[in-house]
Amino acid sequence: MDYNRWVMATETLPTVIQPRQPKGAFANEPFTDFKQHENARRMKAALEVVAAELGREYDLVIGGHRFRTKGKIRSVNPSRPDQVVGIHQKAEAEHAPQAMQAALEAYAHWSRTSVETRASLLLHAAEIIRERKFEFCAWLTYEVGKNWAEADADVGETIDFLEYYAREALRLAQAKPSIQYPGERNELHYIPLGVGAVIPPWNFPFAIMAGMTAAAIVAGNTVVLKPSSDSPTIAARFVNVLEEAGMPGGVVNFCPGSGATFGNAIVEHPKTRFIAFTGSKAVGLEIHERAAKTQPGQIWIKRTILEMGGKDSILVCADADLDAAVEGVVASAFGFSGQKCSACSRAIIEAPLYDVFVERLRERVAKLTVGEAIDNPNMGPVVNKAAHESMLRYIEIGKKEGRLVAGGHSVQTEAGGFLMEPTVFADVSPQAVLAQEEIFGPVLAVIKVKDFEEGLAVVNNTEYGLTGAIYTADREKLDRARHEFHVGNLYFNRKCTGAMVGAHPFGGFNMSGTDSKAGGPDYLLLFTQAKSVAERL
């Protein structure tokens, strides 16, 4: 390691975690109503405060120390690509051993730190974020183009994960065998795995990043955190929150870098015990394959916790509440410009309702506003130039596969943002490219089916199985969908996005991942291993 080209900051980090107890039973963080003048005023003020901090440089954080590298990652505002949000150090493959060594050293004491102390860290971090909610919303608006409501939901979910996993860790620590064998004292302990790699996506750069990280560390593991190159700033600021809350150095090591270099190096490292990843199917499968190959000196089977996207459907039956169904499809398809793995990208409509549904959908989509995220439109930009170009390619495919009902163009602004119209294609075949490939943007395919039987067959005809919804007043259809609509998160008579921590444990089937069920009572088990202890009396 060539330390001569590194610059280390001199500040010291707090290492004392103040004891905190959960305040009552878990409850989801309430949404902010931006129609209220005071909330809108506070959001605008936060945007101004954050604007003054744009463009600053952030360091790698390894073992509690801060370093700089020659290579840099520049995060930009997708509404204004010339505006730099943050400049970050670029970790390379050569930095993986240093990050791993720091995490291993921290693991030696963190894994033996009491669960009450580890939970207190999460609870304190939740308090800090709650106090600065509008500030974090503003960072999300600048870095990934979320409008105010989408940013608020992301921050709220972050708080929820911290609060929920703190309680779950305390509950899990009290687990006991269901049976005590005569003449013995039997115990069951859920112990940490070791050092893990956390590789989050850019679309929920706060909630998913913080959720995977928090679950790992509250279970007693230490982490090498490699955020997306499109959203490293919010991750850097989360690490700052953990440090402020008292996290010891080395528990979370902040290492932005390329997936092909640093990411692969940390996945393949023989001391890496687990990899928590959220992102595309292609990258998730590559991580799974790399992790499965045993390296020299490796003494365990690496665990992969993967969430890899979806091709999500909303089935609208002929007896559905038309107004509710249209609203649910539009919200699911175009919230955050369709950049959610849970987004509805296929509306499957029974024939008797099809024509009127398509017309009402066209009318509703025409009312959506598109613009710079700080102005709080219905839709902000897609995340980067590559995503923008991908949307345009899919639109050209859609013109050959279906009937363009709405949108179909990029939106030009003086700032050169990556803005797209909400786009709807009708009369799409269930086997079309638009109906099978994950587009991850504001492009919706509408598919006509003759009846409920055909509709069920179509919702299950992709390689994915993440989310889905059905609109119907028929209890028999709902009961059948409960058993036959094969997705990890199924919703009745509501949109297919917006999973709430605790209420809707989130994760999918098939090529959507390992059904990890984030925000559910089983999630922390993925970051632990069970140890049974029996003592003869």
Catalytic positions are: 307, 341
Distance from C-alpha of 353 to C-alpha of 324, rounded to nearest angstrom: 13
Distance from C-alpha of 528 to C-alpha of 339, rounded to nearest angstrom: 31
Judge whether 115 and 421 are in contact, CB under 8 Å. Answer: no
Q: Which helix (H) or strand (E) holds 425?
A: strand 423-426
Burial (0-12, 13-18, 19+ Cβ within 10 Å), 286: middle
φ and ψ at 536, to 5 degrees? -70, 130
Dmax over CA atoms of the chain, in Å, equals: 78
How would DSSP label each residue in 332-355? HHHGGGG-STT-EEEEEEEHHHHH
Distance from C-alpha of 405 to C-alpha of 329, rounded to nearest angstrom: 15
Distance from C-alpha of 455 to C-alpha of 153, rounded to nearest angstrom: 31
Distance from C-alpha of 507 to C-alpha of 488, rounded to nearest angstrom: 6
Nearest to 303 by CA among 526, 507, 58: 526
**What is the separation, in whole angstroms, between the first and last Cα of the chain?**
54
Q: Could you say which DSSP state residue 17 is in?
A: P
Strand 195-199's sheet: what is its strand order?
65-67, 60-62, 252-254, 222-225, 195-199, 272-278, 303-307
Judge whether 50 and 56 are in contact, CB under 8 Å. Answer: no
φ and ψ at 528, to 5 degrees? -135, 170
Angle at 257 between CA 121 and CA 288, to 5 degrees: 80
Which amino acid is located at 180 in the chain? Q
